[in-house]
Amino acid sequence: MHHRLDGAPTLFGLIFPATPDAPSITNKIAFLAEEGTGPRIARAAAEDVSRAWRDRLGETFKTGQPPITPGTPDLAWVSVTGPVMDGDYGVLWEAAQREMVGRRRARVFEPVEIPRQKLSAQSPGLPAVPTPPGSLPHERNEALSAVGWVKRRAGSLRFPSTVSIASSMYRRRLLQRAGADPDIATELRRPVQRLATALSQLTVHHDRSTLRSVPVPAGLEPLTDRLGAWVTPERWEVAGLAREYGITPDEQIVHDGRTAASALAAVARKAGIAAPSPYLAIVVQDRDHLGRALGRLDLDRQREVSHQLSELATRQAALLEAEHPLAVLVYAGGDDLLAFCPAAEALPLAASIRAQVRSAVTTGPLATAGADGAAITASTGVVFAHMSSPLQDALQSAQNAIAAAKSATSASGRSRNALAVVVRRRGGERARTVQPWWPPRTEDGAGATELLSRIR
C-alpha cells in the first residue's frame, strides 16, 4: 500500500501515520491529495488491504479457493473536497470526520450465501470451516471460522498461550535461582527433562519463547518456551486434556507429566519460590479526546502530532522490551496500546506506560491540544483474568474498563485520565475500581498503581 500513499513532500501526502514506514500500528489513514484524486487513491488503498488479507488466507489454508470471510476486512473510506489554505483546512477535516461517522453508521454488507453448516464456537455469527493443512490432531475437532484460523496460524507472529503468560514470572524466578545456585540447577534438570519428554508425546501446541534477557543454565532451556503452559501439576489431568484438546491422552504419559511437574514444584518450594499465579493480566491504554483535539489543529500541527505518536509507539515497544520483558505486546500505536503480562507485572507495567505518555507530551502540539490548553492525557484499563477464562470475555472486559476510566469524573470535575482495574475470576467479575491516575489529595503524591499496590 505504500506506493499509493507516497505524496508530494510539501502540501500533499500522508497525515496519519507520519510516513508509509512509520513503526506505529494504526487502523486509520488520513491523506491529503489533489482535487479529484481522493476516491481513486482511497479505493486503491482499500483494495491493497483486502489483497493483504487474501494473502493471509492463502498462507493459512494453502488451497486453490480460500474460504470466504464475511465482514473481514471491515473497511470504510470517505473523500471530501475543499480548500486547505488560509485556515480552511480545519473545516475540511471536520467535514471528513462527519462523513466518516455517517459512513460507518450506514454500513454496507456484501451479500453472502452460506450453505447450512456448523457455526464457529469462537465466533457464533460465522460458519466453522475445515481445519487448514498442517493442523495437529487435537485441532481437527475445533470449530473455528476462517478468520479464527488466520489469527492463529498466518504470519510470523505466534502469541503464547494465556497459561504460558501467567506462568512466566514463576519460570523466570526458577531460572534466576538456578543461575545463582548450581545445586538448584542440578535438582531442576531432572524434572524439567521429564516434563519435556512427557510433553513431546502429546499432540498439542508448544508455545514460543516468552522469557527474554534471562540467562538459562544448561538443561533448563525448555522452561523458556515449550513448558510454559505445563509447569503445574494441575495441567496434567486426563479429563482436562480431553476437554481442552479433544484428544484421549495415554494415562501413563499424563501420570509422568504430573509427577515431573510435582517434582518441579517441590524444588521451587525448597528454593523459596511461590507457586505460579493462575492469573494473567491485560493492560490497555487509550488517549483521551485525541480526535476532538485534532480538530483544533491545522495541517502542520496534525502532522507534527502524527510524528509524535509514531515516535512514542517506538519508545513504547522499547520500554516493554527493556523494562517489562515478560509482557507480550500486541500493538502500540502511540495513541493506544494492548499488552498481556503475568499478574504481578500488571500494575508496574500500567504505571510505566502511563508515565511514558506523561513525559512524551511536555512539548509539541500534544502538550497544549487538550481541553483549556492542557496536555493530552490517557486512560488505562487493567484486567486480571483467570488463565482458564475465555480470552474474548477478558478482552471485552478490558474495553469496558477503558470506557469506565474515560467516563469517570474526578473530585475536581475533570473527566478521564483515570485507571480502571477489574478482577475476573472463573465465575465472572469479582471486583472493579476506577481511580484518577494522580489523586489530588494524596499526601506523598503517589499515583494510582502505587496506592492500589499498598492495599492489594
Q: How confident is the model at residue 444 (pLDDT cuts 50, 70, 90)?
A: very low
Q: 265 and 330: one domain? A: no
Write the DSSP assignment of 237-261 as a string of letters.
-HHHHHHHH-----HHHHHHHHHHH
Select from 106, 122, 145 the last residue of a domain: 106
Select from 106, 121, 140 the last residue of a domain: 106
329 in a domain, yes or no? yes
Q: 348 and 443: one domain? A: yes
Q: How confident is the model at residue 120 (pLDDT cuts 50, 70, 90)?
A: confident
Sign of CA dihedral 179, 184, 186, 190: negative
Q: 357 and 392: one domain? A: yes
Contacts by residues 208-212 (CB-CB < 8 Å, ≥ 24 positions apart): 208/158, 208/160, 210/160, 210/164, 210/165, 210/168, 210/326, 210/328, 211/168, 211/171, 211/172, 211/175, 211/325, 211/326, 212/321, 212/325
Q: 193 and 254: one domain? A: yes
For position 221, what pLDDT does the model report?
Answer: 95
Distance between CA 141 and CA 326 in Å, rounded?
Answer: 32
146 in a domain, yes or no? no
Q: Which residues contact 266 (CB under 8 A, 6 or more apart)?
A: none
pLDDT > 80? residue 115: no
46 in a domain, yes or no? yes
Q: 342 and 378: one domain? A: yes
| Average pLDDT for 413-424 | 81
Q: 451 and 325: one domain? A: yes
Q: How confident is the model at residue 19 (pLDDT cuts 50, 70, 90)?
A: confident
Q: 215 and 313: one domain? A: no
Domain count, the chain: 3
| Average pLDDT for 316-331 | 92
Q: Which of 309, 306, 299, 295 is nearest to 96 (CA)?
A: 295
pLDDT averaged over every residue in the chain = 85
Task: List the domain range (segments joined by +) for residue 325.
Answer: 279-455
pLDDT > 90? residue 388: no
Write the DSSP assignment of 121-143 as a string of letters.
SS-TTSB--PPPTT--GGGGG--
pLDDT > 90? residue 436: no
Q: 261 and 293: one domain? A: no
Q: Which of 80-89, 129-138, 147-156, 181-190 has the lowest mean pLDDT?
A: 147-156
Q: How confident is the model at residue 449 (pLDDT cuts 50, 70, 90)?
A: confident
141 in a domain, yes or no? no
156 in a domain, yes or no? no
Residue of higher predicted confidence among 392 and 180? 180
Q: Read off the C-alpha cell for 245.
A: 484438546
Q: How confident is the model at residue 2 (pLDDT cuts 50, 70, 90)?
A: very low
| Average pLDDT for 442-455 | 62
pLDDT > 90? residue 26: no
Q: 302 and 190: one domain? A: no
150 in a domain, yes or no? no
122 in a domain, yes or no? no
Instruction: Please state the pTM of the whole predicted model.
Output: 0.86
What's at 368, amino acid-wise? T
pLDDT > 50? residue 194: yes
Select from 270, 297, 320 the last residue of a domain: 270
Q: 296 and 256: one domain? A: no
Q: Which of 335, 339, 43, 75 is nearest to 210 (CA)?
A: 339
Q: 61 and 207: one domain? A: no
133 in a domain, yes or no? no
Q: CA dihedral defined by 180, 184, 186, 190, rounded to 10 degrees?
A: -130
Choose from 5-19, 108-122, 190-204 the range with maximum mean pLDDT: 190-204
Q: 320 and 257: one domain? A: no
